[in-house]
Amino acid sequence: MIGIGKSISHTGNSMSYGWNKEKQAEVVYSNHVAGQTPNQITKEFNIIQSQNYHCKKNTLSFVISPTIEDGKQLKAKEL
């Protein structure tokens, strides 16, 4: 399993990338988010983020990529 986390300033681009079915990307967990599309979720984030105008990198992005072997064995719930 390969994981990376960082603070980013490009929320919308990151959300769109995470929804890219051509890259076999899949959202395996979300919590307290009402939106169903990258644009809807980005708008939700922007409402909260606008309250702290000093912060530029105001999204935490975490990506977990299973190895090829793990990807064949693990189900979304197990990830």
Report yes or no: 38 and 15 within 8 Å, Cβ to Cβ. yes
Query: How far is it, in rounded angstroms, from Cα 63 to Cα 13?
Result: 14
Query: How far is it, in rounded angstroms, from Cα 12 to Cα 26?
Result: 16
What is the structure's pLDDT at 51? 92
Largest interatomic CA distance in the chain: 44
Amino acid making up residue 64 = I
pLDDT, one tens digit per residue, over 18-75 is 788 787 777 778 889 999 888 999 999 999 899 988 988 999 888 888 888 888 888 8
Q: Where are the domains of the chain?
A: 2-28+35-73
What is the enclosing helix (H) or strand (E) of 6?
A: strand 2-8
pTM, full prediction:
0.69
